[in-house]
Amino acid sequence: MSAAVLEQPVLGSRRLSNVLVAAAVSTGGLGFLLASLSSYLGRDLLPLGHPAALIFVPQGLVMGLYSLAAALLAIYLWYVIAVDVGSGVNRFDKDAELVTISRRGFRKPIRVDIPLKDVKAVKVEVRDGFNARRRVSLRIQGRRDLPLTRVGEPLPLAQLEQEGAELARFLGVNLEGL
């Protein structure tokens, strides 16, 4: 890569926190399934408690429905992790005068190409509170701001400022929001 090209990788859904949530949902769903089967068969299939003492209708049946819901949610979560939805790269090419934002979607890749001359500024947005938001985005002429940072865990403030300043310096545009 030359000095005229800047690439920023973007982390997708393949993160430890997502794997832990998917594992917890899968384990919980298995527990509900075993409790439901214990209730139906009249034998304890779980080492904790006595699910065989539950009456199958309605308690065991409801546990079975909970296990079905957990299984569907777990399949979705493991699929999102396997596909690594949201991962991609931000590519800024001065030679081609093009900004290319690419991400992995659920079914197909997403790619946005923007002429470099349309980029007016780099915006750093910091909003703390209940719905915290920390992101770097591009201000583009005639369009809404285009976010560049990952979704999920907010970036540390120092890293956010550094990424925004580095990008603004590389593109030769103003840095807004600080």
Q: pLDDT digit string (tens) for 150-164? A: 777 778 888 889 999
- Confidence at residue 90, expressed as pLDDT on a 0 to 100 scale: 95
Could you tell me which residues are beta bridge partners of residue 109? 104
Residue 39 has pLDDT above 90, yes or no: yes
Class of domain 86-176: mainly beta
- Confidence at residue 177, expressed as pLDDT on a 0 to 100 scale: 82
Contacts of 13 (CB under 8 A, 6+ apart): 80, 81, 83, 84, 85, 86, 87, 152
Instruction: Give tens-digit pLDDT for 119-146.
Output: 999 999 888 878 778 889 999 998 999 9
- Confidence at residue 24, expressed as pLDDT on a 0 to 100 scale: 98
Confidence of residue 1 (pLDDT cuts 50, 70, 90): low
Instruction: Give tens-digit pLDDT for 68-115.
Output: 999 999 999 999 999 999 999 999 999 999 999 999 998 899 999 999
Beta strands in 3-151 (DSSP E): 5-10, 88-93, 98-104, 109-115, 119-127, 133-140, 146-147
Cross-sheet strand order for the sheet of 109-115: 5-10, 88-93, 98-104, 109-115
- Confidence at residue 133, expressed as pLDDT on a 0 to 100 scale: 81
Question: Residue 105 — φ and ψ, nearest 5°?
Answer: -100, -175
Q: Identify whether the C-beta of residue 93 lies closer than 8 Å to the C-beta of residue 119.
A: no
Of 117 and 150, more confident: 117
Q: In the structure encoding, which two tokens stand for residue 10, read together?
A: 């973007």
Q: Identify whether the C-beta of residue 35 lies closer than 8 Å to the C-beta of residue 50.
A: no
Sign of CA dihedral 117, 123, 148, 163: positive
CA 62 – CA 32 distance, rounded (Å): 9
Domain segments of the chain as ranges? 16-83, 86-176
Residue 44 has pLDDT above 60, yes or no: yes
Residue 40 has pLDDT above 90, yes or no: yes
Running DSSP on this structure, what letter comes out for residue 117? G
Residue 37 has pLDDT above 80, yes or no: yes
- Confidence at residue 8, expressed as pLDDT on a 0 to 100 scale: 92
